[in-house]
Structure 1
Amino acid sequence: MKVTIVAGARPNFMKIAPIIAAIKARRQEGRDIDYRLVHTGQHYDKNMSGSFFEQLGIPEPDANLESGGGSQAEQTGNIMVRFEKDLQEHPADVVLVVGDVTSTLACSIVAKKLHTRVAHVEAGIRSGDIRMPEEINRLVTDAITDYFFTTSEIAGANLSKAGVPGERIFFVGNTMIDTLLKHQPNFVQPAIWQETGLKAQEYIVMTLHRPANVDQEQQLKALMDAIVSASRELPLIFPVHPRTGKMLKNIGISAPNLHMIDPLSYLEFNYLVQHAKAVVTDSGGITEETTVMGVPCMTLRDSTERPETCTIGTNELLGINPAAIAPAFEKLFNNEWKPGGIPELWDGKAAERIADQLLALG
């Protein structure tokens, strides 16, 4: 079986790394499976250097389509044109896409129009918020996918409600957690630890990048003021997304305990998360990682496509009203935060299940 694996952004590579390792292991056993890795170039990330690939054990892509930049429509079109040529030159039995970025949508459409089967890793997750570009990508991709690899029973139920036959849904677990558990022993203490004299359980990590939180100056300022006020002067370590950085400069936020730093590598960032008292974020993926590491997490969103991080894990959905922040911090400081548990099959073996299922599908 020839599998073309598509990745377009940094989180995609963290999700496909264990799948590649599992395919390689089975090939070494003499099984009939091989892969080709295509990087669409959707996102340019200065941390996506050779060291990023080396640290996570990801081979260099077989092709980089260099499709970044432009509007959503321009980017989608560029990816489709370039991926169509690549897939025609390198036919596959299955195109495997992950997550919910523009590349996921674009390459799924191309594959289906070239009569190639599509497998979607992280299929079926839904936020219910159609205003999110990611939600549109999820819905369209899952409408044309052949094989659905899910991270939770909830995701499988979403697909069943949409009419997907049960024999095409495979509950395998979460490949992002495969990567986390594999590399947890290798986390690296970032420079900010020594620079600010951080101590375990005595600082807060925060990330913000979603439009609802950062595109309006008043909203961003209100959120930042509320977080600073509620933090009881604990250090706030804020690796700043470029999108957020532009707005922060405009509103001039500063506080003695607020440390705004450049984005960190995967191993450095998760070192901070693992030892933090809590995380404040609007990222979906981080809520999965905090759940597995048992770190309290406050999510500044009105909905989540990963409800298991709330119902089972350490995450709480606060919404985007700044007034919700102080009560959440009070609960944290009063040691009343829920301990949380780990969702089913988030055990570091999801990629192995995916590779075995691909072989079974033939």
Structure 2
Amino acid sequence: MSLFTIVAGARPNFMKIAPIIHQLQKKQREGTNVRFRLVHTGQHYDKKMSGDFFEQLNIPQPDANLGGGGGTQAEQTAAIMVAFEKELFEHPSDLVIVVGDVTSTLACSITAKKLQIDVAHVEGGIRSGDLSMPEEINRMVTDSITDHFFTTSELANENLRKSGISEERIHFVGNTMIDTLLAQKPRFKKPEGEIFEDLEPQGYFIMTMHRPANVDQEQKLKAMIAAILEGVQGLPIIFPVHPRTAKNLQVIGIQADNLRMCEPLGYLEFNYLVKNAKAVITDSGGITEEATVMNVPCITLRDNTERAETILLGTNELAGTDPKKLKPYLEKVMKGDWKSYQGIPLWDGKTSERIVDILIEKYA
């Protein structure tokens, strides 16, 4: 019997692991001789950032919680590595499955490889080329020691080939986050609260910001929000505020009647708002994928992206981090003159089936 250890630690990870878990459970019911342990590293540790995802996405409670949240990048990485090593000593695994590009991805892949355990990286091969992003370093290090790469696009495949990865280790399967999106779409629900009551379909924007380039410099954050407020022509902006952004917003004291800030939302509530929005304004990578597949205009406040397919075939555009350059993008949205989703290969809701079939063939 094979044992797979599935690692999740931060909010985006849960959407990526949920369909893999559901597919493994299905195989178990069909009699396949495979077990899995779900390890939550604790990288995100408040309920809105992790707990809700277990409930809403029907993921079983984790077999272990490593309690690796808090501290600096180095402290968090070290804490997760120490705790995960103990987990693997106590529960020897045939394969460690990591997803995405967060600290947990890096820490657990290194720990597994030092114990001579194979690593599979779901969403392997994506690159932004921006080494100022911690996530880019996490991707590069993880992919340098990974055994099997489950990729979301031909662009990711090419990145891996250029770095010398052999073809038999690259598995082009699609995007598990889209599996979750398509499966959960019928369950999306309007959030409760006064700020959401009067929202009309395509009559509001939804915005997220958390990257240091946008939120750490107070005057730049103030200028960016001012540019957005000017461009939306009075339409409501729903702004679930990331903890790091909240601190700086308090300092700059920006207010407007149509800027509606709230706590981070659950998965079903947030994507209800994305699905029905006039447009999304974000500096998140994953949200660009969800907006693209739901054919919602997406303005990304970044100078680069590791998800170029959302620009080439999707509804995403890079507006950059300069508030002065935002105006034409918002004008285009307000005129209804935005591109449509063209369809991205294998983003069809069946990625987890392909992943699990490959893993069972190789390890079960």
- Once the two structures are overlaid, the 10-residue window that deviates more, 122-131 or 48-57, is 48-57
Contact kept in structure 1, 2:42 and 2:68, CA below 8 Å: yes
RMSD: 1.2
Alpha-carbon shift at residue 48 of structure 1 (Å): 4.9
Alpha-carbon shift at residue 196 of structure 1 (Å): 4.7
Mapped partners of 2:34, 2:125: distance in 1 = 26
Mapped partners of 1:167, 1:144: distance in 2 = 15
Contact kept in structure 2, 1:292 and 1:341, CA below 8 Å: no
Partner residue in 2 for 1:15:
16
* 1:270-301 deviation per Cα after TM superposition (whole angstroms, max 9, x unaligned): 00000000000000000000000000000000
Mapped partners of 1:50, 1:293: distance in 2 = 25
* 1:135-180 deviation per Cα after TM superposition (whole angstroms, max 9, x unaligned): 0000000000000000111101100000000100000110011111
Mapped partners of 1:212, 1:357: distance in 2 = 39
In the alignment, is residue 97 of structure 1 matched against residue 110 of structure 2?
no
Tell me the secondary structure at the aligned position of residue 260 of structure 1.
Answer: strand
Alpha-carbon shift at residue 254 of structure 1 (Å): 0.7
**Cα pair distance change 1:307/1:35, threshold 3 Å:** same
Which residues of structure 1 form unaligned runs of 5+?
Answer: none
- Once the two structures are overlaid, the 10-residue window that deviates more, 348-357 or 334-343, is 334-343
**Cα pair distance change 1:4/1:272, threshold 3 Å:** same
Aligned amino acid, residue 287 of structure 1? T
Partner residue in 1 for 2:260:
259
Alpha-carbon shift at residue 13 of structure 1 (Å): 1.3
In the alignment, is residue 327 of structure 1 matched against residue 323 of structure 2?
no
* 1:307-327 deviation per Cα after TM superposition (whole angstroms, max 9, x unaligned): 000000000001101122111
In the alignment, is residue 239 of structure 1 matched against residue 244 of structure 2?
no
Alpha-carbon shift at residue 188 of structure 1 (Å): 1.1
Mapped partners of 2:318, 2:264: distance in 1 = 24
Mapped partners of 1:162, 1:102: distance in 2 = 22
Alpha-carbon shift at residue 345 of structure 1 (Å): 0.5
Tell me the secondary structure at the aligned position of residue 6 of structure 1.
Answer: strand
Tell me the secondary structure at the aligned position of residue 177 of structure 2.
Answer: helix
Contact kept in structure 2, 1:10 and 1:45, CA below 8 Å: no
Contact kept in structure 2, 1:128 and 1:135, CA below 8 Å: yes
Alpha-carbon shift at residue 28 of structure 1 (Å): 1.3
Contact kept in structure 1, 2:241 and 2:263, CA below 8 Å: yes
Matching of residues 81-92 of structure 1 within 5 Å: 81-92=82-93
Runs of 4+ with deviation above 3 angstroms: 48-52, 192-196
Alpha-carbon shift at residue 45 of structure 1 (Å): 2.4
Alpha-carbon shift at residue 54 of structure 1 (Å): 2.3
Tell me the secondary structure at the aligned position of residue 294 of structure 1.
Answer: coil
Partner residue in 2 for 1:305:
306
Contact kept in structure 2, 1:291 and 1:341, CA below 8 Å: no
**Cα pair distance change 1:194/1:262, threshold 3 Å:** closer
Alpha-carbon shift at residue 341 of structure 1 (Å): 2.0
Matching of residues 145-184 of structure 1 within 5 Å: 145-184=146-185
Tell me the secondary structure at the aligned position of residue 23 of structure 2.
Answer: helix
Mapped partners of 1:54, 1:302: distance in 2 = 35
Mapped partners of 1:233, 1:82: distance in 2 = 49
Mapped partners of 1:145, 1:195: distance in 2 = 44
Partner residue in 2 for 1:121:
122
The TM-score, its normalising length taken from structure 1, stands at 0.98
Contact kept in structure 1, 2:232 and 2:334, CA below 8 Å: no
Tell me the secondary structure at the aligned position of residue 202 of structure 1.
Answer: coil
Partner residue in 2 for 1:64:
65
Mapped partners of 1:304, 1:144: distance in 2 = 23
Matching of residues 219-234 of structure 1 within 5 Å: 219-234=220-235
Tell me the secondary structure at the aligned position of residue 134 of structure 1.
Answer: helix
Tell me the secondary structure at the aligned position of residue 42 of structure 1.
Answer: coil
Matching of residues 196-215 of structure 1 within 5 Å: 196-215=197-216
Alpha-carbon shift at residue 2 of structure 1 (Å): 1.2
Tell me the secondary structure at the aligned position of residue 305 of structure 1.
Answer: coil
Mapped partners of 1:360, 1:336: distance in 2 = 47
Aligned amino acid, residue 59 of structure 1? P
Aligned amino acid, residue 182 of structure 1? A
Which residues of structure 2 form unaligned runs of 5+?
Answer: none
